[in-house]
Amino acid sequence: MTLISVLIWTLLCCCFTGKSRGQVTVTQPGAVSSALGGSVSISCRTSQNIPNSNSWYQQRDGETPKLLIYYISNRQSGIPDRFTGSGSNSDFTLTISGVQTEDAAVYYCQSAGSYCRY
């Protein structure tokens, strides 16, 4: 069976929030993979609990990042329902079910309401 590599860059993002006036560290795994048609989960952990702040972006080679999920679990318009977001407090997950070849990309986790430099 063909394997799809869903690349995840380790993202260490220093964010300055108006609420905490401190640094928020966002950590993701280095890489995950799945068979075609399989399921994959990508984790994201933040150093602080910022309610309803998590978003997920997908960036394919040569393209700009595209918003997939906002406010933890809300899909952006036009995003297939095989992309789901979940989590609470400081632990979040993006799950891709029925993985397809076009899902090979870099996925970013962002703490919304913060200024992040990648």
Instruction: Tell me the domain boundaries of the chain.
Output: 3-116
Q: What six digits make up the tokens of 35? A: 């068979």
CATH architecture assigned to 3-116: Sandwich (2.60)
Query: pLDDT at residue 91 above 60?
Result: yes
Q: Is 76 exposed, middle or buried (0-12, 13-18, 19+ CB in 10 A)?
A: middle
Average pLDDT of the chain, as a whole number: 79
Instruction: Give per-residue pLDDT as tens, 31-58.
Output: 899 999 999 999 998 888 877 779 999 9
Query: pLDDT at residue 93 above 90?
Result: yes
Which carries the bigger pLDDT value, residue 15 or residue 69? 69
Whether this prediction's pTM lies above 0.95 is answered by: no
Quick one: average pLDDT of 65-94?
Answer: 95
Closest CA to 44 of 2, 101, 85, 3: 85
